[in-house]
Structure 1
Amino acid sequence: MLELKDATETPLADLLSLAGRTAVVTGGAQGLGKGIARRFAEAGANVVIGDRNLGAAQAAAADLSARYGAKVIAAVLDVSDEQSVADCAATCLEQFGTIDIWVNNAGVFPALPISYMTLADWEQVFAVNARGTFLGAQAASRAMAERGGVIINVASLAGIKGIAPALSAYVSSKHAVVGLTRQLAIELAPQRIRVLAIAPSFIVTEGNLALMQSAPQTAQMAAEDIPSMLQSKLGRVGVPDDIARVALFAASDMALFMTGTTLVVDAGESA
């Protein structure tokens, strides 16, 4: 087993720094993914933004490189495809030599009542949200086997409880992510690979706003359900950086003694 260092005497700034480390963020072109990539770049990491939309990933990489002087590159990535995930990992290793942090962020959030859902609909959600998390974690664990690292799975409050009508596939897939996080923490601890999940409540992103606009017509969600998604006990709606700061904590040595845990970021919704 690789030895877990004691960081007691490490200065706080060094504990939060990701200098010299390389991170892959899937679905990193916008929303939560870009927010996470931004904080990682600010903390000094090299970042690979993997996304199906290569143009958007390249734009995000250029933006973060210019803003923080970090080495940020884009890679085309379909997380549901084994070869695509392997190619993204290979690109990262070719460019930077290591993978120290892998964030499984890419996901889909379709709202379909079970009575109208097809098997293909169900399987597509699991292909991205569950299989994609597995494939990313597998690729990361292989690259991290000799020196350790951190795998962060972006789950959801839906991975802990049911949240709204028409989301049975999404809720089930995110429960799978939480379960996989627990199991991988056990399996990968001997290689000093920490595995954590983050479970956000509703966050204002491009994808979620699009869902809100279409849901009453296409997902048969009641219009009155939507305003409640924009409220919290803390008085404001969540934004991507609320999740990105937690991801930075999880990836950094601040969380050195944490693995297998799901960090709930929900402004008290589950309290």
Structure 2
Amino acid sequence: MTQLTGKTALVTGGSRGIGAAIARRLAREGADVALTYVSSAERAGAVAAAIEAGGRRALAIAADSADPQAVAAAVERTVAGLGRIDILVNNAGIFPYEPLEAVALETFDRAMAIHVRAAFVAAQAAARHMREGGRIINIGSCLAERTGGPNMTVYAASKAALTGLSKGLAQDLGARGITVNVVHPGPVDTDMNPADADAADAQRQGLPLGHFGSADDVAAMVAHLAGEGGRFVTGAAISVDGGFSA
């Protein structure tokens, strides 16, 4: 028996990159997993199929995290389809990267909607169903604490706000035995930030370990927090960033 046997998780933005790695890792730990996606039903279906091939149940849900009704509905579909929700991972995200003068207000609003409002809506909806021992894990960014360069004001602000949200939720839900934490990935080799991109060398120079991490590195921390090892960790912001924030 693995540590998450009998548990059900919802991972937003779970069709690729860090989200897909988290969904697969939680399933390997014994959880049934629902995941949301926006653009690629094929990718989401492939992740769900891999989970089911490993003997767990999976559910792929089309839901844009910019739409609060879709986010709340995804939680309800998880409960209806898989019977419960024990673990919520708010992972869906975008990466606005523009000079300050060029940023449209719509860009700011969308980043806040996806990174902050969606996490709030999902947590609020999930908390109505969660039992003692529930876990909410928000995926932030090392850029929430140190940007290291220009053009990331909106992204950094939204991820910093997610840290504050996580701490508030930890206070609100602690009496019910539900933990809430935020994990801050650093440079991770994904299709959104490939380790062989033009800007990768500059990122590596800021890493004491000298190399990019993998999506599985982040998934391992999420699995730890979701399992028995996370039972006395709440309100924490944990960096998985190769020392970027050191």
The TM-score, its normalising length taken from structure 2, stands at 0.93
Q: Is the 8 A contact 1:150 1:251 kept in 2?
A: yes
CA distance in 1, matches of 2:225, 2:153: 28
In the TM superposition, residue 63 of structure 1 has moved relative to its aligned partner by 2.1
> SS state of the match for residue 24, structure 1?
strand
> 1:119-162: CA deviations, max 9, x gaps?
11111111111112111211221221x44400000001112222
In the TM superposition, residue 164 of structure 1 has moved relative to its aligned partner by 2.3
In the TM superposition, residue 243 of structure 1 has moved relative to its aligned partner by 0.2
Provide the residue aligned with 1:250 in structure 2: 225
Q: Name stretches of at least 5 consecutive residues in structure 2 with no aligned partner.
A: none
Provide the residue aligned with 1:167 in structure 2: 152
> SS state of the match for residue 147, structure 2?
coil
Q: Is the 8 A contact 1:80 1:135 kept in 2?
A: no
In the alignment, structure 1 residue 29 sits paired with structure 2 residue 6: no
- Equivalent residue letter for 2:154: A
1:201 to 168, 186, 190: 186
Provide the residue aligned with 2:82 in structure 1: 96
The TM-score, its normalising length taken from structure 1, stands at 0.85
Provide the residue aligned with 1:176 in structure 2: 161
Q: Is the 8 A contact 1:24 1:49 kept in 2?
A: yes
CA distance in 1, matches of 2:133, 2:66: 25
Provide the residue aligned with 1:4 in structure 2: none
% identical equivalent positions: 37
1:60 to 39, 47, 70: 47
In the alignment, structure 1 residue 236 sits paired with structure 2 residue 211: yes
- Equivalent residue letter for 1:93: V
CA distance in 2, matches of 1:181, 1:41: 24
Bigger Cα Rg? 1
Say how many residue pairs are matched.
244
1:84 to 33, 57, 70: 70
Q: Name stretches of at least 5 consecutive residues in structure 1 with no aligned partner.
A: 1-13, 214-222
Q: Which runs of 4+ in 1 moved over 6 A?
A: none
- Equivalent residue letter for 1:240: A
Provide the residue aligned with 1:128 in structure 2: 114
CA distance in 2, matches of 1:162, 1:229: 11
